Chain A
Amino acid sequence: NFMLTQPHSVSESPGKTVTISCTGSSGDIASNYVQWFQQRPGSAPTTVIYEDNQRPSGVPDRFSGSIDRSANSASLTVSGLKTEDEADYYCQSYDNGIHVFGTGTKLTVL
């Protein structure tokens, strides 16, 4: 079964830049769109990146997404970190009609 693996946790200081990876277990991650979601404790997920690198309206341009075909991975980069960015982040993609979520990454801003 296709899986998306993320680092369990990352931490960085306010104002810095952090990148969260999402690595596919097989195939070509570039063959399907990747989405990224932010989830704060006690709240529903919200989308920060869709279709690999598109930002929904209202999401600051500090959030960006990219694909690295050579590593079969997607990345979410958050620049100019703010304390409000502290949350869990999940990637998501597809495999033959099946929706697959990444393992999730806890971002700590300290």
Chain B
Amino acid sequence: EVQLEESGGGLVQPGGSLRLSCAASGFTFSNYAMSWVRQAPGGGLEWVSAISDSGAMTYHADSVEGRFSISRDNSKNTVFLQMNSLRAEDTAVYYCAKDGYLVWGQGTLVTVTS
């Protein structure tokens, strides 16, 4: 069964950092691009970052450019989202998704508050 499981969310103060992980199983991870998508409380879906299958290419939304960084470890079937300089408006459930969005994880909640 194809599965994605996010972890690493939690409570953090403004200006702080957090690293999210997404562990994949049930498919050949190194063959697929991966993405992170977030959803603020009561809000819609917002694309955050994407990474190519090899990790050579990364893309970020303007709202997180320069603060967030996506990476992956194909030997561990895991994609990461390093989030720095966090702001209150980054508070959201963060989902990882497989290339083409056919598979989604269950999400991990990030709350940025003092």
Chain A residues contacting B82 (CB-CB under 8 Å) are: none
- Total interface residues on B, CB under 8 Å, equals 18
Chain A residues contacting B104 (CB-CB under 8 Å) are: 44-47
Chain B residues contacting A92 (CB-CB under 8 Å) are: 45, 47, 101
Among A37, A39, A98, A102, the residue within 8 A (CB) of B101 is A37
Q: Which residue of B lies closest to A98 (CB)?
A: B59
Q: A37-B45, A100-B47 are in contact. Are A50 and B107 (CB under 8 A)?
A: no
B89 at the interface (CB under 8 A from A): no
Chain B residues contacting A50 (CB-CB under 8 Å) are: 100-102
A residues 1-50 touching B (CB-CB < 8 Å): 1, 33, 35, 37, 39, 44-47, 50
- Total interface residues on A, CB under 8 Å, equals 22
Q: A37-B45, A98-B59, A101-B45 are in contact. Are A44 and B107 (CB under 8 A)?
A: yes
B44 at the interface (CB under 8 A from A): yes
Q: A35-B100, A98-B59, A101-B37 are in contact. Are A44 and B105 (CB under 8 A)?
A: yes
B27 to chain A minimum Cβ distance, whole angstroms, is 14
Please tell me if the beta carbons of B102 and A101 are within 8 angstroms of each other in the complex.
no
A109 to chain B minimum Cβ distance, whole angstroms, is 20
B24 to chain A minimum Cβ distance, whole angstroms, is 15
Give residues in B with beta carbon < 8 Å to A.
Answer: 35, 37, 44-47, 50, 59, 61-62, 95, 100-102, 104-107
